[in-house]
Chain A
């Protein structure tokens, strides 16, 4: 049973993990170098819990107990008492490797260190640590859905005890999980990569236009959104960067070759819904 959970990075994912953990009666040390982000995240969690109390989902007397379980930290050595740490920093391999190196020096050798990476190999991230048996990857998907699913990524040297503790933690946080091998893109990104790249190939070959492909995929395939709508929602930048990482990590296997159109869109600043322009045009609020 994990008693003290460390979370590095108080962004969207850090906020969600901290909230779930506090509700699951786990003490949380929420670390970020930016105190403003930390304060904002705590306020956000407070507001969520208060709302749940007002709706009668959580007893009033629980409110302060839940909030007391979350402590903010701005010094990494302050996480030394944690028995499990999840890092959810920016998607930059070097940043994550440097962080793991520091955690190696500032944590107990029994502390499990997980990376909530969405794309990088956990074996690569953990290459800077002396005992990578205690490292693991956790890819959170559909994070805002209740009982959402995570991919637990077992690195090349991850030991079975680390996997078991991670499964137990995910159960406590109310997450479903699957265990996947540490391969480029894991399962989810790999599947999305095929979904997007095949749609892009069809477009490149002028077999059908963007709205046609989306309509066919939704109406015939039963998908909620078409591939181009989904790419616009996620962001062309994120899609292209992930496809590049998968391609590089696969030693440039041409099966995973990134798409030129995506590169050109990215270079032209056309990166999807967030900028009002992607495969479709959007009205900016």
Chain B
């Protein structure tokens, strides 16, 4: 597998590598000059969380939202502006859609057309791989996958998944960007669910199976997780923190990618995601 990746990596065009090198230079330069600009698109609450995080570290932030009448986002920082059209002078773009993959594709395509070929596109890749996303656009060397789930955005570490198209220069840009907002990175393979979302969503899925089978009450499951196993949160209370649609999307993507029994979604979880409510007898 490693050999295969090496071989594919050699297929970068000179143009792609040059663009990536310019991109590194750009972000190095831009951090010296006036505040660099980050553009963020995607789903609430991750958009708000990332926007506040970037603004808090000195970035000017544009949140691109083309339905302002819905008034979806609320921001504390005055460094954050909501825009309808993707601006051109962007240092880094962050796309944070996990549930609506059609909208995600539209966002990624629009970003890739609007911003320069030297602007890195960091995109949540827990429900669709970064490699697949890169295949949607021209200038695919710009796109790198990141792990983004609502409960984990503010943590000091982020999982990063370069694609087979990503030259090391793009990864350097990503590293520099995350360091600048107080995060370290851990580079992992570009796979659905990445590490933490996959483990957490699987724990939640099994806990929902247990509830459906009447093994224990939701409160007791959380109690055992926290006080018996020293987990930081119970799997049921994590549903509230992460959001059932996000969890369902990760599990659905895992189930499609890995057709094994262990990735079968608990029917109750599917029902909760459809109705937004707990099943009641």
Q: In the complex, are the beta carbons of A187 and B216 less than 8 A apart?
A: yes
Q: In the complex, are the beta carbons of A212 and B188 less than 8 A apart?
A: yes
Within 8 A of B (CB), among A2-53: none
Instruction: Report which of A141, A195, A197, A205 forms a contact with B224, defined as CB distance below 8 A.
Output: A141
Say whether B114 faces chain A, with CB atoms less than 8 Å apart: no
Say whether A93 faces chain B, with CB atoms less than 8 Å apart: no
Given contacts A149-B224, A191-B203, 11 further A-B pairs with CB under 8 A are A148-B227, A176-B223, A178-B223, A183-B213, A187-B215, A206-B189, A208-B195, A215-B157, A216-B159, A223-B231, A224-B232
What is the bound-complex CA distance between A181 and B217, given in angstroms?
10
Q: How far is the CB of A80 from chain B (nearest CB, A)?
A: 33
Say whether B199 faces chain A, with CB atoms less than 8 Å apart: yes
Q: How far is the CB of B203 from chain A (nearest CB, A)?
A: 5
> Are A176 and B196 also in contact (CB < 8 A) when A187-B215, A219-B155 are?
no
Say whether A62 faces chain B, with CB atoms less than 8 Å apart: no
Q: In the complex, are the beta carbons of A176 and B227 less than 8 A apart?
A: yes
What is the bound-complex CA distance between A34 and B210, given in angstroms?
40
A: residues with CB less than 8 A from B are 141-142, 148-149, 151, 176, 178-181, 183, 186-188, 190-192, 194-195, 197-199, 201-202, 205-208, 212-213, 215-217, 219-224, 227, 253-257
What is the bound-complex CA distance between A161 and B190, given in angstroms?
54
Q: Which residues of A contact B194 (CB under 8 A)?
A: 207
What is the bound-complex CA distance between A213 and B213, given in angstroms?
31
Instruction: Encode contact with A along B188-211: 1 for CB under 8 Å, 0 otherwise.
Output: 110100111011101100110010
Say whether B152 faces chain A, with CB atoms less than 8 Å apart: yes
Q: How far is the CB of B125 from chain A (nearest CB, A)?
A: 12
Q: In the complex, are the beta carbons of B233 and A222 less than 8 A apart?
A: yes
What is the bound-complex CA distance between A216 and B147, given in angstroms?
11
What is the bound-complex CA distance between A101 and B186, given in angstroms?
55
Q: Which residues of B contact A176 (CB under 8 A)?
A: 223, 227
Q: In the complex, are the beta carbons of B199 and A224 less than 8 A apart?
A: no
Say whether B214 faces chain A, with CB atoms less than 8 Å apart: yes
Q: In the complex, are the beta carbons of B189 and A220 less than 8 A apart?
A: no
User: Which 7 pairs, one residue from A and one from B, show the smallest C-beta to C-beta distance?
Assistant: A141-B228, A222-B232, A178-B220, A219-B157, A254-B261, A208-B188, A207-B189
Q: In the complex, are the beta carbons of B213 and A181 less than 8 A apart?
A: yes
> Are A187 and B221 also in contact (CB < 8 A) when A181-B213, A207-B188, A219-B157 are?
yes
Interface size class of B (residues with CB under 8 A): 35 or more
Q: In the complex, are the beta carbons of A192 and B229 less than 8 A apart?
A: yes
Cβ contacts A to B, 11 pairs, < 8 Å = A141-B228, A149-B224, A149-B227, A178-B217, A187-B210, A188-B229, A190-B206, A191-B203, A191-B231, A208-B186, A256-B262
Instruction: Report which of B155, B216, B230 forms a contact with A142, defined as CB distance below 8 A.
Output: B230
Q: Which residues of B contact A206 (CB under 8 A)?
A: 1, 189
Chain B residue at smallest Cβ distance from A222: B232
What is the bound-complex CA distance between A191 and B227, given in angstroms?
13
Q: In the complex, are the beta carbons of A198 and B198 less than 8 A apart?
A: yes
Q: How far is the CB of A214 from chain B (nearest CB, A)?
A: 10
Q: Which residues of B contact A187 (CB under 8 A)?
A: 210, 215-216, 220-221, 224
Q: In the complex, are the beta carbons of B206 and A141 less than 8 A apart?
A: no
Say whether B235 faces chain A, with CB atoms less than 8 Å apart: yes
What is the bound-complex CA distance between A228 and B262, given in angstroms?
20
What is the bound-complex CA distance between A216 and B198, given in angstroms?
12
Instruction: Report which of B186, B203, B224, B231 forms a contact with A212, defined as CB distance below 8 A.
Output: B186
Q: Which residues of B contact A194 (CB under 8 A)?
A: 202-203, 206
> Are A220 and B157 also in contact (CB < 8 A) when A142-B228, A253-B261, A254-B261 are?
yes
Q: How far is the CB of A266 from chain B (nearest CB, A)?
A: 21
Q: How far is the CB of A179 from chain B (nearest CB, A)?
A: 7
> Are A141 and B229 also in contact (CB < 8 A) when A151-B224, A217-B196, A254-B261 are?
yes
Candidate in A222, A256, A257 with the most chain B CB atoms within 10 angstroms: A222
Instruction: Report which of A141, A186, A227, A255 forms a contact with B261, defined as CB distance below 8 A.
Output: A255
Say whether B156 faces chain A, with CB atoms less than 8 Å apart: yes
What is the bound-complex CA distance between A191 and B210, given in angstroms?
10
Q: Which residues of B contact A224 (CB under 8 A)?
A: 230, 232
Chain B residue at smallest Cβ distance from A139: B228
Chain A residue at smallest Cβ distance from B216: A180
Q: Which residues of A contact B225 (CB under 8 A)?
A: 191
Say whether B264 faces chain A, with CB atoms less than 8 Å apart: yes
Q: In the complex, are the beta carbons of A255 and B1 less than 8 A apart?
A: no
Q: In the complex, are the beta carbons of B199 and A142 less than 8 A apart?
A: no
Candidate in A178, A220, A224, A256 with the most chain B CB atoms within 10 angstroms: A220
What is the bound-complex CA distance between A279 and B155, given in angstroms?
26
Within 8 A of A (CB), among B219-266: 220-221, 223-225, 227-233, 235, 260-262, 264
